Amino acid sequence: MSRLVFILLGCAATGLFLAASCSKPPGQAEYDRGLYELKRDNLVRARALLEKSISRRPGSDENALAYNYLGVTTWKLGQYQAAQEAFEDSRRLSPALAEPIYNLALLYQHQGDDARAAKLLEEAAQIDETNPRPLEYLAQLYVERRQWQNARRLLYAALDRKPNSPRALTSLALIDLETSGAEKSIESHLLALEKNPRYAPALFNIGLIYLTRIDDPVRAREYFKRYLAQKPEGPSADFARTTLAQTISAQPAPRASTEEKSTPAPQTETASTQTTQARAAQQTPEELDAATIQQATSLAEVGNISSALNQLLKAADDAGKAKRLPAQGAPASRGNKHCV
């Protein structure tokens, strides 16, 4: 008898589970599976599922996030027109959602339309008043134009939103390198390290400035060691290891040649964009090819650090799409209780 009761209870539980599994609103199951496939970089499958999710709930406000993720997916597939249309559909359904505005701005920036990108970044910054990213990317547009005062203003505004951000402080330090010189830039980089002593871009930049601007290879060595403890892989790490392996002397730092590792440009965490970053995940010099670093080297060695950095950031936009996700936003959770 007890066995019969157990079987009946088991059947009842199974029936409840099946009922719960079917209780999701139309399109929600496809949406959830689409996000899962997107995270696994199964992009064709993710696109099909997200499109099916949208088609199953036409006109629904719930599609705003689905369209945004569809834009992310098509961006990663290199289908930029489709990405633009998806982000615009997301904006139409939910004008107060910042993510598609932010992503659309980054897409325009990737296409070279800085004016439209700037306008959308300003809009995204107003909608999402706690996120420093739109302000940081807008500042980068001004850096590319060498409009230092405007770039500083935006980076300080970003710091108001996230006061302990080593990323924004590092960006300010690179502006100091252009406007106030190497010593001031190192001081500013050290402020970033006060917030996060293991922040790799600041560690690398200080080492590079000591090596190429101040001609102090001993101090450069110290910071390259700390950098390698955080970022042991990539071209910048290879350069740091080469520097550490050399005999330290009082001679000026050697210029890069075809037989030596190229000197990367200073780093920031933004793309780039991270794309970046959209940029959801940001590109750094570790993710760029050797040709890009060689081009940046030529600029850095003649003292044009800002242009060298911009070279890396622009290349990250073009070369990093396979690894970088645009800003995606939080998955929809309104009224959803997922079955396990």
Min mean pLDDT across 15-24, 238-247, 331-340 is at 331-340
Judged against a pLDDT cut of 70, whether residue 319 lies above it is answered with no
Helix, strand or coil, per DSSP, at residue 324:
coil
Judged against a pLDDT cut of 60, whether residue 281 lies above it is answered with no
What digits encode the pLDDT tens for the residues 215-245? 999 999 999 999 999 999 989 899 999 989 8
Cα gap 280→131, rounded to integer Å: 13
CATH number of 63's domain:
1.25.40.10
Q: In Å, what is the CA distance from 184 to each residue of 12, 102, 205, 209?
A: 72, 33, 13, 11
In a domain, 249, yes or no: no
**pLDDT cut 90: percent of the chain above it:** 53
Residue 78: which domain range?
Answer: 27-95
List the one residue out of 221, 216, 141, 140 whose CA is nearest residue 174.
Answer: 140
| Residues in the chain, total | 340
pLDDT band at 60 (very low <50, low <70, confident <90, very high): confident
Question: How crowded is residue 328: how many other Cβ atoms within 10 Å of its Cβ?
Answer: 20
Indicate yes or no: pTM above 0.85: no
List the one residue out of 67, 77, 86 whose CA is nearest residue 41.
Answer: 77
Question: Greatest CA separation found in the chain?
Answer: 91
Average pLDDT rounded to a whole number, residues 87-116: 91
Judged against a pLDDT cut of 70, whether residue 324 lies above it is answered with no
In a domain, 285, yes or no: no
| pLDDT of the residue at 23 | 67
Cα gap 11→19, rounded to integer Å: 12
Helix, strand or coil, per DSSP, at residue 248:
coil
In a domain, 71, yes or no: yes
In a domain, 57, yes or no: yes
Average pLDDT value for the chain: 75
72 contacts 103 by C-beta, under 8 angstroms? yes
Cα gap 138→131, rounded to integer Å: 13
In a domain, 42, yes or no: yes
Higher per-residue confidence, 30 vs 261: 30
Cα gap 123→279, rounded to integer Å: 17
In a domain, 40, yes or no: yes
How many folded domains does the chain comprise?
1
What digits encode the pLDDT tens for the residues 120-163? 999 989 988 999 999 999 999 999 899 999 999 999 999 999 99
